[in-house]
Amino acid sequence: MSPSVRNIIAWILQALLAAMFIYGGFSKLMQLDATMKMFGSLGLPGWFGGFIGGAELLGGIGLLVPRTVRPAALGLIVIMLGAVFMHATKIPGGLANGVPAIVALVLLVVVLVLRSRPVPRAL
């Protein structure tokens, strides 16, 4: 794949993921009481919901800044791994309701791979 095609695909995925995480994080923070209750019902501390909302919001913004794409993607991958785990173990409906988290996780890994630095080849 040529570098320009790789770049275009990466930017499209980054923009879509950024929109999703900015919206999701903003929603969690705007409905903080409900978010804290929901996290509490899962056996997590309520404040963790606000932390995750803020991390999603900042991670989504980070996907749009070239210098912070990789750390943002890594942080969001950790969050999505947690979301998939919670869907598999505690959230009613199981992984069937966790499909968006699984798709986001896979797309974040793709972005991370597309934005990884090429390894120099030996001659």
Alpha carbons 57 and 98: distance in angstroms, whole number: 20
To the nearest whole number, what is the mean pLDDT of the chain?
A: 94
Tokens of 65: 């800044």
- pLDDT of the residue at 119: 66
Is 121 contained in some domain?
no
- pLDDT of the residue at 93: 83
Tokens of 60: 């989504």
Q: What are phi and psi of 5, to 5 degrees?
A: -65, -40
Is 120 contained in some domain?
no
Read off the pTM. 0.91
CB atoms within 10 A of CB 63: 29
77-110 burial, b at 16+ Cβ within 10 Å, e below that, comes to: bebbeebbebbeeebeeeeeebeebeebbebbee
Provide the residue range defining the domain that includes 83.
3-114
Is 119 contained in some domain?
no
- Which range is least confidently modeled, 53-62, 91-100, 113-122? 113-122
Instruction: Express each pLDDT in 21-43 by its tens digit.
Output: 999 999 999 999 999 999 999 99
Q: What are phi and psi of 102, to 5 degrees?
A: -65, -45
* pLDDT level of residue 97 (50, 70, 90 thresholds): confident
Please tell me the total count of domains within the chain.
1
Name the CA radius of gyration of the chain, rounded. 16
Is 10 contained in some domain?
yes
